[in-house]
């Protein structure tokens, strides 16, 4: 009897949870649409640094939502949901266009050699949207920035390695978009699969930096990281390590031959106005 009562109340609880979740999703969707209409979204930029000399090579574009009540909302709280509802198409277009225009500005104001690059995240749903490659072609054809400096990041888990995905990626590459595979090491793909995909850059996930502590752990982490880096280099890919939070990590990665790093140690993502203020 006790178990039956328990089971029944568990079922009621589970249903309540489900309804709450569904209710929350509807509220979030309405709120996202409102926010889009009110221009509450912004693109922040996190520097990607050359480990060789600490100079800024480029930036990753990261969406932020300036919510009137909640303050700054991180994409982890709305990207997955906007993929489900399709809102990612509008949000993603905003991020791509804003970044393209900011990149053109930076290159005008800071004519560096090699030129600054910018890298925009693209989700699975965007990649498979009918007009996606065409819209990128348009951005590139406008010719507002230097060749090869506009890059797209696709998270490893978003890539089902089928003909369709490969065809779109190859098209993008042939048009001159730089391609990076994001969060590398969190999914199931391996570097040997990577050799058949048109990514020029591998972004190694920050989980490969975490929990280095004891001597053995340190040695293991070094073995893993150095073999990923070596294989990526063997395949003529460039390496960026994400989530670098300490000088120790930066030095370690430099010694292992990583070209680029990105993380709070160098800088958090910042609004572009801060960059403009220096101009
Ligand atoms: P991601 O592309 O892997 O971006 C890196 C995330 O790590 C960012 O989180 C960044 O703020 C955070 N990060 C940077 N340095 C450090 C560090 O040193 N330590 C730690 N713990 N974290 C660090 P954020 O901005 O919250 O973005 C989360 C994810 O949302 C991104 O992961 C990306 O997949 C997605 N996203 C962001 N902007 C866009 C966009 O415009 N379009 C699409 N489709 N997805 C986006
Ligand atoms: Mg990324
Ligand atoms: Mg990442």
Residue 201 predicted with pLDDT over 50 = yes
Q: Please write the tens of the pLDDT for every residue from 149-192.
A: 999 999 887 676 677 878 899 999 999 999 999 999 887 666 77
Residue 88 predicted with pLDDT over 90 = yes
Can you tell me which atom of ligand 1 is nearest the CA of 265? 18
- Nearest ligand to the CA of 243 is 1
Look at phi and psi of residue 216 and say left if phi exceeds 0, alpha if psi is from -120 to 50, else beta: alpha
Distances 235 to 159, 176, 263 between C-alpha atoms, Å: 19, 19, 25
Comparing CA positions, the residue from 112, 121, 140 lying closest to residue 50 is 112
Protein residues within 5 Å, CB atom, of ion ligand 3: 182-183, 242
75 close to ligand 1 (CB < 6 Angstrom): yes
Angle between helical axes of 2-37 and 88-109 (0-180°, round to 10): 50
Q: Please write the tens of the pLDDT for every residue from 241-266.
A: 999 999 999 999 999 999 999 999 99
pLDDT band at 12 (very low <50, low <70, confident <90, very high): low
Q: What are phi and psi of 250, to 5 degrees?
A: -60, -45
CA atoms within 13 A on the CB side of 263: 23
pTM of the complete model: 0.90
C-alpha 81 – ligand 3 centre gap (Å): 18
Cα separation, 28 vs 31, whole angstroms: 5
Q: What are phi and psi of 183, to 5 degrees?
A: 55, 35
C-alpha 30 – ligand 2 centre gap (Å): 26
Query: Measured between alpha carbons, how far apart are the two ends of the chain, in Å?
Result: 74
Lowest mean pLDDT among 126-130, 202-206, 263-267: 126-130
């Amino acid at each position: 009897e006790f178990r039956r009562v328990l089971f029944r109340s568990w079922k009621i609880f589970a249903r309540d949870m489900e309804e709450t979740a569904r209710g929350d999703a509807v509220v979030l969707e309405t709120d996202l649409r409102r926010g889009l209409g009110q221009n509450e979204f912004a693109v922040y930029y996190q520097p990607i640094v050359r480990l060789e000399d600490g100079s800024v090579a480029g930036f990753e574009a990261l969406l932020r939502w300036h919510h009137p009540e909640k303050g700054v909302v991180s994409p982890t709280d709305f990207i997955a949901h906007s993929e489900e509802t399709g809102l990612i198409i509008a949000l993603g277009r905003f991020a791509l266009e804003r970044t393209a225009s900011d990149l053109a500005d930076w290159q005008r104001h800071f004519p560096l050699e090699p030129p600054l690059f910018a890298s925009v995240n693209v989700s699975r749903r965007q990649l498979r949207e009918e007009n996606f490659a065409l819209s990128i072609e348009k951005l590139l054809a406008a010719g507002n920035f230097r060749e090869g400096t506009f890059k797209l990041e696709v998270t490893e888990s978003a890539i089902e390695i089928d003909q369709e995905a490969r065809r779109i990626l190859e098209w993008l590459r042939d048009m001159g978009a730089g391609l990076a595979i994001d969060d590398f090491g969190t999914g199931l793909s391996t570097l040997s699969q990577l050799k058949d995909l048109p990514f020029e850059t591998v972004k190694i996930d920050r989980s490969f930096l975490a929990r280095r502590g004891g001597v053995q752990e340190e040695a293991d982490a070094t073995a893993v990281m150095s073999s990923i880096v070596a294989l990526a280099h063997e395949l003529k890919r460039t390496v960026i390590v994400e989530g670098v939070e300490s000088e120790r990590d930066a030095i370690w990665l430099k010694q292992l031959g990583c070209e680029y790093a990105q993380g709070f140690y160098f800088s958090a993502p910042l609004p572009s106005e801060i960059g403009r203020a220096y101009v």
